[in-house]
Amino acid sequence: MPSTTNGLERWARERVTLPDLPGWVRIGLSLLALVVAAAQGSLIEVLPWALGLVVLEVVAAQTTANRRRLQVLSLQTGLVLLAVVVGYPGHAALLPLLLVPAFRAGEQHGLRAGLATSGVLAAVTVGSAAAATAWHFTTSGPWLPAVQWSALALAIALLGGWAYGATAGVDAQRRTEAAAEEAGLLLGRLRDLARRLPAGFDVPAVAEMLLDTALAAAPAERAAVLVQIGPDEVSPVVVRGADRVPWRDPVKEQGTAHEAWVSRRTVHDVREADAAGRRTGSAVLVVPVADRADELLGVLILERLAARPFSAEEVRAVEGAIRTSAPRLHAAMAFIELRTLSEVAERERLAREMHDGVAQDLVALGFGLDLVQRRLRQRDPELAGELLAVRRQLNQTIQDIRYSIAALRTSVRPERGLGAALSAAVQSLGPATGAAVTSELRESPFRLPAHVESALMRLAQDFLTAVRGDPGVTRVHVALRTDPPAAELELRHDGRARWEPAPEFAAALAGLGGRITTTGAAQGWVTALRIGPVDAAAEDGGLQPGVAGETAGTARPGPERTDALR
Mean pLDDT across the stretch 153-170?
77
List, in order, residues 6 or more apart from 397 with CB less than 8 Å away. Answer: 362
| Confidence class for position 302, pLDDT limits 50, 70, 90 | very high
Flag whether pLDDT at 59 surpasses 50.
yes
Angstrom distance (rounded) from CA 173 to CA 140: 51
Flag whether pLDDT at 542 surpasses 60.
no
Q: For helices 360-379 and 381-409, give the axis angle rounded to 10 degrees.
A: 160
Task: Tell me the CB-side half-sphere exposure of residue 292, using CA atoms within 13 A.
Answer: 4
Angstrom distance (rounded) from CA 265 to CA 259: 8
Is residue 9 within 8 Å of residue 3, measured between CB atoms? no
Is residue 126 within 8 Å of residue 150, measured between CB atoms? yes
Angstrom distance (rounded) from CA 71 to CA 109: 12
| Confidence class for position 559, pLDDT limits 50, 70, 90 | very low
Of residues 21 and 54, the one with the higher pLDDT is: 54
Mean pLDDT across the stretch 517-522?
77
Of residues 12 and 401, the one with the higher pLDDT is: 401
pLDDT at 520: 79
Q: What is the mean pLDDT of the chain?
A: 76
Q: For helices 43-60 and 66-87, give the axis angle rounded to 10 degrees.
A: 170
Of residues 3 and 429, the one with the higher pLDDT is: 429
Write the pLDDT tens digit of every residue in 227-275.
887 767 788 888 888 877 888 888 888 888 888 888 889 999 888 776 5
pLDDT at 285: 92
Write the pLDDT tens digit of every residue in 453-482.
777 888 887 888 777 777 777 888 888 888
Using a 10 angstrom Cβ sphere, with 0-12 exposed, 13-18 middle and 19 or more buried, the burial of residue 447 is buried
Write the pLDDT tens digit of every residue in 25-53.
888 888 888 888 888 888 888 888 888 88
What share of residues in the chain are helix, strand, coil (percent, to 5)?
A: 60, 15, 25
Q: For residue 438, what are the β-bridge partners?
A: 477
Q: Is the dihedral of CA 122, 84, 31, 168 positive or negative?
A: negative
Angstrom distance (rounded) from CA 54 to CA 223: 64
pLDDT at 368: 77
Single-letter code of the amino acid located at 221: E
Angstrom distance (rounded) from CA 494 to CA 411: 26
Mean pLDDT across the stretch 423-445?
77
pLDDT at 536: 42
